[in-house]
Amino acid sequence: MGALAALIVAMRPKQWTKNVLFVLPPIVFSEQLFELDLLGRVIVCCILLILSSGCVYIINDVIDLDADRAHPVKRLRPVAAGQLSVASAKAAACVLALLVLSASYLFDERLAVLILGYLTLQIAYSLYVKHIVILDVLAVAAGFVLRLLAGGIVIDVGLSPWLYASAGLLALFLVIGKRRQELASLGEDAAISRPVFAKYNLPLLDDLLRIVTSATTITYILYTVESPTMVRNGEHVGLLTAPFVIYGLFRYLYLIHVEERGGAPDEVLLRDRPLQATLLLAALVYFVILYVL
């Protein structure tokens, strides 16, 4: 594998979809999806966040080099596999960080501040926070909320606090689900690849999943009721989308507990047909509510 190809793989292309899914809601729910100038700004924002997260992944691979080499899957990552040298990885991360911060400052100063905060949070996570039980999953979820905030900043749109809460809880649900599946699949070797697993067990993670699943469902329903964009002609038509959210959460729990999948949410989304169908149907209902009714 060439150095450039190894660098791109190290930036986790499969996970770029997370930036898109969390940056798009502001322009979609503000009913401005077809405003091309604003859509262009959102696309630029997505690209900058993809580069930012790629920078963080490279830094994390350097920090976790020894642990990744002991992991059955992570040992195949370019840095752990020796396809990308540590020196090259460090240089690439520095260049990417400078490039992203400079470009975001020229594009929108507020976005530059947010991306700086995102990078700071993620580097702190890689160095310290990921070793602190409970705070580790909260920090990862916070990164997704910052993506949502970025999508609103670049088009000057304020979102319902219930939407922020729903997105944060959904991210927390996915992070805890991933932790649970990793712990279950790695068993006694889990703490070798991720030391914080020594402080977790399956009953705790299952309890956390139950709490977050309930909170996500209730918070999203409150969003559909409280947000003006989810009301048409005095009717709370946004509630029509709630069954899709509930099914999606339940389907993901099924994949974790029964099919023993869920270790990587992006891969589950790309492979599970029922989840894909749910997202497509939900997107159609959203489109009708926001742009037709």
Dump pLDDT digits (tens) for 188-243. 777 777 788 889 999 999 999 999 999 999 999 999 988 888 878 778 888 999 99
Higher-pLDDT residue of 209, 15: 209
- Tens of pLDDT, residue by residue over 154-169, are 999 888 899 899 999 9
Residue 26, both tokens:
């502001």
Is the pLDDT confidence value at 67 over 80?
no
| Gyration radius of the chain over CA positions | 19
- Tens of pLDDT, residue by residue over 259-280, are 877 667 777 777 889 988 999 9
Q: Angle 242-257/273-291 helices, nearest 10 degrees?
A: 170
225: closest CA among 283, 160, 282, 130? 160
For residue 62, what are the CA distances in angstroms to 54, 55, 109, 119, 189? 13, 11, 30, 16, 21
Residue 292, both tokens:
């037709």
Percent of the chain whose predicted confidence (pLDDT) is above 90: 48
Q: What is the pLDDT of residue 186?
A: 77
Residue 46, both tokens:
């997505």
Residues 35 and 104: their CA atoms lie apart, in Å, by 21
Q: What is the pLDDT of residue 133?
A: 93
Residue 266, both tokens:
């992006």
- Tens of pLDDT, residue by residue over 22-58, are 899 999 988 898 999 999 999 999 999 999 998 999 9
**Where residue 76 falls among pLDDT bands split at 50, 70, 90?**
confident
Q: What is the pLDDT of residue 263?
A: 64
Q: What is the pLDDT of residue 1?
A: 56
Q: What is the pLDDT of residue 262?
A: 62
Is the pLDDT confidence value at 293 over 80?
no
Identify the burial level of 181 via C-beta atoms within 10 angstroms of its C-beta, where 0-12 means exposed, 13-18 middle and 19 or more buried.
buried
Question: Mean pLDDT throughout 93-121?
Answer: 93
**Where residue 152 falls among pLDDT bands split at 50, 70, 90?**
very high
Residue 278, both tokens:
């749910």
Q: What is the pLDDT of residue 260?
A: 77
Residues 292 and 285: their CA atoms lie apart, in Å, by 10
Residue 261, both tokens:
């999948």
Do residues 155 and 41 make contact, with C-beta atoms less than 8 angstroms apart? yes
Is the pLDDT confidence value at 99 over 90?
yes
CA angle 18, 20, 26 (to 5 degrees): 115
Residues 35 and 31: their CA atoms lie apart, in Å, by 9
CB atoms within 10 A of CB 227: 17
Residue that is written with structure tokens 């059955």 in the block: 72
Say how many CA atoms lie within 13 Å of 125 toward its Cβ.
22
Residues 123 and 292: their CA atoms lie apart, in Å, by 43
Residues 253 and 267: their CA atoms lie apart, in Å, by 15
Average pLDDT, the chain: 88
Residue at 261: amino acid letter: R
